Amino acid sequence: MDAVRFVRVAVILPLVLAAGCAATGTVLSRPGRGDVPTKVDLEQTPFFPQVDHQCGPSALATVLSASGLPVLPADLVPEVYLPARRGSLQPELLASARRRDRLPYILPPTSDAIVSQLAAGIPVLVLQKLGAGPWPGWHYAVVIGYDVETQVFLLRSGTEPRLEMSAARFLATWDRANRWAIVVLQPGQMPGDPDAGRYVEAAAALEAIGRNDAAGIAYQAAATQWPRDALPRLALGNVALSRGDLAAAEIEYRRAIELDPGDAAARNNLAEVLLRRGCVSAARSETEIAAALAGTGPLAAAVDDTAARVAASGNSDEQGCPAP
Amino acid sequence: MFKRLTVLVTCIAILNLGSPLVAQAAVIGTLQAAGDSGRVADLSTIGNALARSEVREQMLALGVEPVDVEQRIAALTDAELRTLAGQMAEMPAGGDALAVIGIVFLVLLILEAVGVIDVFKKFP
């Protein structure tokens, strides 16, 4: 064996081995908050040993069942498995959860976020990159516990019901998978350490694919959880509008604007409601404010549209319209 | 005469296609409002339809049963369809557990070390 090849292996081998062990992120930090325990073991989480390359269906069945929806991996294979890829893609796991009226909530990319969910009793579905180079070893597993003292994460993984992985190694494999982790929630159920934007966006995805009842429950929960946030109010207004309840929609949009006068979307949508009521003058003032707020940003096109329709509606108001 | 009729019908069809787009664009949906404002939101309906169609083709090509394809697509958001379109063959597909990978990898590493194969030339 020539010298070059020897050197290559002598350098590569330790690096490759180290790559599996290197702590590219951080270790498991001692929780900063008193109510987060130093050790969690969600041993009651169901277990579905993986078959063939179907860690996607197994992992998803695990978290769906844990959320109160008994389902077997075999039920999920036709929803998430891609035979030619011998695996499952992340967006399809989200889609499959949504089809069953579960809200898939994508976690912030920190180990604290995983810990928060586990401390709240919710198992976490993660993507890991277990291999390297031409064999990336993409793998889905479910984190069911952690221990700060021994620096381990506990996973349901493949055919292992209780795989203890050192925190350093787990975080390295998760880091290489771009730190993708989700929990699946019942509509209305909050994740650990909930974030309003992430939660409403997740609920909005449910609405976008037509699961309106589930989305509505989630939006209501968001409005309760974050009473000073305008976004859940906009969401509730949109739900009311889509079922034709103009009065309810107007109430929600006005509430959103009260909470955030700079909410261009709420003002635009309020203008839409006012227009449908025949209150052209009031609609016009709202579109003017909305246009100023939207500027040249992503909402500008929709606002311009509304403004154009208001302009085309003449000048007279119906009875009982608010002053502009 | 028939040609004029065809043109007329086509024009009406296109105009009818046009109107719903205007009505829908005026109300700002929650997903649009909630999405990261840093993302450039390309909301072109044509673009979304193309993405949908491409994902459909890719799913079939990757072995999804035709009877399952529509339901799988229906549960994906437009943004997800755009991500998937053109990428389904390359995106991470979680499937294999480590044990199999690890053994294969180790064997290849050993074979490389003894000079039987030269598979790792891509490594820096």
- Residue B65 sits at φ, ψ, to 5 deg, of -65, 135
d(CA A59, CA A163): 14
- pLDDT tens for B82-100 read 999 989 999 999 987 654 5
- How many separate helices (H) and strands (E) can be counted in chain B? 6, 1
CA of A132 vs chain B CAs: smallest distance (Å): 9
Using alpha carbons only, give the angle B33, B34, B37 rounded to the nearest 5 degrees: 75
- pLDDT tens for A104-162 read 999 999 999 999 999 999 999 999 999 888 888 999 999 999 999 999 999 999 999 99
CB contact under 8 A, A53 and B96: yes
pLDDT above 70 covers what percent of chain A?
92
d(CA A245, CA A162): 51
pLDDT at B102: 59
d(CA B97, CA B99): 6
User: B109 to chain A: which residues are within 8 Å by CB?
Assistant: 9, 13, 16
CB contact under 8 A, B28 and A89: no
Query: Please, which pLDDT band fits residue B109 given cuts at 50, 70 and 90?
Result: confident
- pLDDT tens for A55-112 read 999 999 999 999 999 999 999 999 999 999 999 999 999 999 999 999 999 999 999 9
Tell me which residue in A56, A83, A208 faces B31 most closely, judged by beta carbons. A208
CB contact under 8 A, A131 and B105: yes
- pLDDT tens for B31-60 read 888 875 434 455 577 788 999 999 999 999
User: B80 to chain A: which residues are within 8 Å by CB?
Assistant: 91, 94-95
CB contact under 8 A, A84 and B63: yes
ipTM associated with this complex = 0.85
pLDDT at A26: 56
